[in-house]
Amino acid sequence: MSRKIKSCFSRLFPKGAQIIAALLAILLLCGGCSGSSSGTSETVRIGVALYSQDDTFISAVTQQMEQLAREYEDQNGGKINLNLADGQRNQTIQLEQIDRFLDSGCDVLCVNIVDRTAAAVLIDKAVSAGIPVIFFNRQPVQEDLQRWDKIYYVGPKGEQSGIYQGEILLQKWNQEREQVDRNGDGIMQYVMLEGEPGHQDALLRTEYATKPLIENGVALEKLASDTANWSRAQAVSKMKQWCQEFGSSIEAVIANNDDMALGAIDAMKEMGIDPLPMVVGVDATAPALEALEEGSLLGTVQNAPDMPEILLQLSLALATGQEVPETITIQDEHYVWLPYHKITKETIRQIVP
């Protein structure tokens, strides 16, 4: 194996996975082992079905997957075909795309399912075709994942991101109470911008974000809460209403993701709210990190930064019928849980050098 290929592996495949990844590449390059139905042994074909390509977080994940796949190809000469399909938030459209992926001989599917309660039909199609499925970011119910042993879910545990948001608020509340408790009543008046109804991350973040505060004896008053469907534009209009209603009595804005946190900041700036209250989001998107540097966003939570790499590694292993790399821990036979990271102005340098 050439030095060039080895150095690629050390970057793409950390620690123990390198050995397995190296074996995998040899198998891919030698041919005859791709597990592909068409017999094109050097090419691994991954069908990536997205709930919506215009989602900020999802498009960042897919861009990173594409970049990693290109790096992998450049270094070892094997080919990874990443076929992306935009489900346009429509489960019927997405199922047609899955049919097309299966008909055209994909080796593995990565699915960001539109309706996470409707995975059974999709899984049955994959089972009939004998093609493994890795769900990510939008978590199907457990019974569906258990329909076949080649069905996986890759993602973080939503409750953890909520807890981190609450901890960020708690720290600020304890350290700068006079500034953040604007009316000085010892109660944190907050509004909650929720993600898409029924999404596990929206439900769990909403439920868990207040827990660290309550557990540490902070009295809370919820002024308002509503969904803005992960969307910056919807958050702007929701927040404008709340600013008219509550003005500067809002002491904290808890948003289930960064796009909505940024929408809230846009609205408050436009409405002349100064100084801004505490605002927290989730994802650590590029514009959110800028807002953090600027000081308008108090904190965010990095959303499974290793997801693109894990999706690719797992896809390659499943497509070629190889063992799953040791660096990937599969729990309860179907779940690969990935970590979140708490990000504030003090810790931002850990992810943006």
Taking the least distance from each CB to Ca ion, the nearer of 187 and 233 is: 187
H-type alpha helices, the chain: 3-12, 17-30, 56-76, 91-103, 119-129, 142-145, 158-175, 177-180, 200-208, 211-215, 232-246, 258-270, 286-294, 307-320
Residue 282 binds ligand BGC (CB under 6 A): yes
Question: Residue from 185, 207, 293, 323 that binds Ca ion (CB under 5 A)?
Answer: 185
Residue 187 CB, nearest distance to Ca ion (Å)?
A: 5
Q: Which two tokens stand for residue 158?
A: 């939503």
Residue 302 near which of Ca ion, ligand BGC, none (CB within 5-8 Å, type-dependent): none
Which of 1, 30, 121, 187: binder of Ca ion (CB under 5 A)?
187
Segment near ligand BGC (CB under 6 A), from 6-14, 55-63, 75-83, 212-220? Answer: 55-63
CB of 96 to Ca ion, least distance (A): 52
With binding defined as CB under 6 A, does residue 264 bind ligand BGC?
A: no
Q: Are the CB atoms for 162 and 177 separated by under 8 Å?
A: no
The listed partner (ligand BGC, Ca ion, none) that binds 187, CB under 5 to 8 Å by sort, is Ca ion
User: Using CB distances below 5 to 8 A depending on partner kind, what does residue 206 bind out of ligand BGC, Ca ion, none?
Assistant: none
Which residue among 101, 153, 190, 230 contacts ligand BGC (CB under 6 A)?
230
Burial classification of residue 295, based on how many CB atoms lie within 10 Å of its CB (0-12 exposed, 13-18 middle, 19 or more buried): exposed
Give pairs for 327-334: CB < 8 Å, separation 24+.
Answer: 327/13, 327/14, 327/15, 327/16, 327/17, 328/17, 330/152, 333/149, 334/145, 334/146, 334/151, 334/152, 334/153
* Residue ranges in contact with ligand BGC by CB under 6 A: 55, 57-58, 137-138, 199, 201, 230, 257, 282-283, 303
* Residue ranges in contact with Ca ion by CB under 5 A: 181, 183, 185, 187
